[in-house]
Structure 1
């Protein structure tokens, strides 16, 4: 019964062990990363990097690179995976073209933000940059590949690709807007942190993560295959954990942090 309802909205999963395994791995690994964030074991970048670490006894002496360089390394392979898909498979149906276009635009936007919007004040663990880069590349390539496998199959009874396109546009726009607001908190040469203002920052501490989840949900609805939904759910779990850690960080740094500001979802969580 549940399966029959589910198949109204997604294509039947392809009989491909790689895609099946990657669906499980993506969901479990991203969910686990969210749990690690809650436990204080943060990804080695941004302001959370040294949160809770004894600065007199550093946890490691691994190689570091600038945050800007690290983020370029993280996003570029996934962007190239999207671009390359148009070369390797030049002819695809409309849904497939929408999917790989959305993935390509998503990571191209991230690269542009790194170059022209974000302001970086911290270093990044080289291993973390490599791991994030590999993760984004594998997940992007897997989304494209898993959808390529179902081309030619009958469409799901409920067509979500236009709803997905709208969600993607809302997500990418809202994410960019709140990243822009974050970038305006600092003037040139200023490395201090401030409580974010404007947009949905008056309601949640991480609206940029909320819109990132909405964007990936849009990509999932465009594709309507199992793998992107698993990746989106895993991403949501990770960003929930990171958002909780971010709120804890702000509370530790600012005594006047507003108590009514939620973590990720206005008025709810």
Structure 2
């Protein structure tokens, strides 16, 4: 399988431009799911919806790994130790996130039903991005033998781990706000929610920012940028919604970045 640099570049730029366009759209209209869903929209249960839209991020890279030519010139898995280890670690971080999202988070969630249009759009995105990240790491990315000692790799993985811990803990707090079957909203407290309204979003942005730093590549950077553009505004929308719902909402909390924004 040839390394299609043109396809990788095109998909990466599509994420960059798409992220910017989505950011502009969300400044006017919030994404219509969760608390912003439009009444009467055709939907599927939250657990099924999350599973369907997130599982391509897990399966597509694994299929590329299992079916790709790992011995040819483009998919050479026999490079230097730094090259093999670097690509393996990055692929594992990407797959780990989507393993949790599709097989753990999806079956623990107590969220509202998800509109089918949102599920379809998210499934398409996760499929294309899963291909982009998996193909790039398996067939295009190359790391020098010194990469394992590079500060960017260490800082990137540390940021990814910190972000994932924040994300998991914040999701746990949000699930605890509702009993099974409830759809009420309560003020989240504890963890990073003491500082920002979108603690779960902050965690995920940090995850993919760390992934991009460790990878130091256009595809990973494009994905991190798209993530920030898609869920960053949602943190602000949630922040404003909390302020409108609850008269006693903590005034010191920011939307996404502690003490700043």
Normalising by the smaller structure, the TM-score range is: 0.7 to 0.9
Aligned position for 2:15: 26
C-alpha distance 156-134 of structure 1, shift in aligned 2 (>3 A):
farther
Other structure's SS at 2:89 match: helix
Aligned position for 1:240: 232
In the alignment, is residue 48 of structure 1 matched against residue 36 of structure 2? yes
The aligned runs of 1:99-110 (5 Å cut-off) are 99-110=90-101
- C-alpha distance in 2 between matches for 1:131 and 1:81: 16
Residue 80 of structure 1 and its aligned partner are, at CA, apart by 0.4
Deviation sequence 1:226-269 (CA, Å, 0-9, x none): 11112212211222211111112112222222222101011011
TM-score (norm 1): 0.83
The aligned runs of 1:184-199 (5 Å cut-off) are 184-199=176-191
- C-alpha distance in 1 between matches for 2:11 and 2:176: 38
Aligned CA-pair RMSD: 2.2
Contact kept in structure 2, 1:48 and 1:246, CA below 8 Å: no
Aligned position for 1:167: 159
Unaligned runs of 5+ in 1: 1-13, 51-57
- C-alpha distance in 1 between matches for 2:52 and 2:4: 33
Contact kept in structure 2, 1:98 and 1:222, CA below 8 Å: no
In the alignment, is residue 87 of structure 1 matched against residue 66 of structure 2? yes
In the alignment, is residue 75 of structure 1 matched against residue 54 of structure 2? yes
Aligned position for 1:132: 122
Aligned position for 1:206: 198
Contact kept in structure 2, 1:82 and 1:101, CA below 8 Å: no
TM-score (norm 2): 0.85
C-alpha distance 181-140 of structure 1, shift in aligned 2 (>3 A):
same
Deviation sequence 1:42-68 (CA, Å, 0-9, x none): 223211224xxxxxxx5xx54321122
* Highest RCO, 1 vs 2 (Cα 8 Å, sep ≥ 6): 1
Residue 179 of structure 1 and its aligned partner are, at CA, apart by 0.3
C-alpha distance 217-152 of structure 1, shift in aligned 2 (>3 A):
closer
Q: 1 or 2, which has the higher helix percentage? A: 2
Contact kept in structure 2, 1:35 and 1:238, CA below 8 Å: no
Aligned position for 2:89: 98
Q: Report how many aligned residue pairs link the two structures.
A: 244
Aligned position for 1:17: 6
Deviation sequence 1:181-218 (CA, Å, 0-9, x none): 11111123332110111111111001111110111112
Contact kept in structure 2, 1:48 and 1:249, CA below 8 Å: no
The aligned runs of 1:2-13 (5 Å cut-off) are none
